């Protein structure tokens, strides 16, 4: 299943469905064997899918539904890292896997994120397409209905300016970060 460069919502749904069917049983059986819960299996598997997606997109490699061992490996690593203490000090050999930074540091407060999701949704979707999904500008132009790649790029910078100014404005209100 080759998805790049078409990282659309529909193609992702197909990919995640296939990966769920192929890899989740392995991960769930592993977590069950280690004494964990179904919710733990679900959480680490979903994080593993996110890590896999980001790695594939940023390294510009082809997303494949056959990367079973790789994703199961990330999930097992995450489970040991997160739950090994609860499970009674299982020996842990350190394998370096980049964790989503989000867990360590939430940049935007919930309030700011909610504001961006509602008032700024269109802009956030365009920025997501450019910077996160890394779609080619031609495809973004078509998907968002711009007259040409130049308009799409100008809109990208306008949206980035809007987010930057929103972050600045919200940062001035200290109470927004106290939740």
Partner 1 sequence: MRTSLNEIKTIEEHLFNRVHPADNLLFQANMILNTDLLEKVDLQKAAYQTVQQYSRKQLKAEIEAVHQKLANKPNSFMQRLISLFKK
Q: Does residue 97 touch partner 1 according to CB under 8 A?
A: no
45 touches 24 (CB < 8 A)? yes
Angle (CA) 148 151 156, round 5°: 125
- Residue of 59, 93, 96, 157 that binds partner 1 (CB under 8 A): 157
- Find, among 109, 102, 113, 123, the residue nearest to 46 by Cα: 102
In the complex, the smallest distance separating the C-beta of residue 104 from partner 1, rounded to whole angstroms, is 12
Q: What is the CA radius of gyration of the chain?
A: 19
Q: Does residue 146 touch partner 1 according to CB under 8 A?
A: no
Q: Does residue 16 touch partner 1 according to CB under 8 A?
A: yes
In terms of CB distance, is 94 or 157 closer to partner 1? 157
In terms of CB distance, is 49 or 140 closer to partner 1? 49
Q: Does residue 164 touch partner 1 according to CB under 8 A?
A: yes
User: Look-up: residue for tokens 């994080």?
Assistant: 47
Q: Does residue 28 touch partner 1 according to CB under 8 A?
A: yes
In terms of CB distance, is 15 or 91 closer to partner 1? 15
Q: Does residue 67 touch partner 1 according to CB under 8 A?
A: no
Angle (CA) 33 28 66, round 5°: 125
Supply 27's token pair.
């991960």
């Amino acid at each position: 299943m080759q998805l790049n460069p078409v990282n659309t919502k529909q193609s992702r749904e197909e990919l995640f469905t296939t990966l769920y069917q192929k890899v989740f049983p392995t991960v769930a059986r592993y977590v069950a064997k280690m004494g964990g819960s179904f919710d733990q299996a679900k959480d680490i598997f979903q994080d593993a899918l996110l890590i896999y997606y980001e790695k594939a997109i940023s390294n510009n490699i082809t997303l494949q539904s056959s990367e079973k061992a790789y994703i199961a490996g990330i999930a097992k690593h995450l489970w040991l890292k997160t739950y090994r203490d609860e499970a009674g000090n299982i020996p842990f050999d350190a394998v370096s896997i980049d964790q989503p930074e989000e867990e360590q540091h939430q940049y935007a407060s919930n309030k700011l994120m909610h504001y961006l999701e509602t008032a700024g949704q269109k802009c956030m979707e365009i920025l997501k397409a450019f910077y996160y999904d890394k779609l080619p500008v031609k495809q973004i132009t078509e998907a968002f209905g711009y007259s040409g790649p130049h308009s799409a790029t100008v809109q990208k910078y306008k949206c980035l300016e809007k987010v930057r100014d929103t972050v600045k404005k919200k940062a001035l209100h200290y109470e927004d970060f106290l939740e």
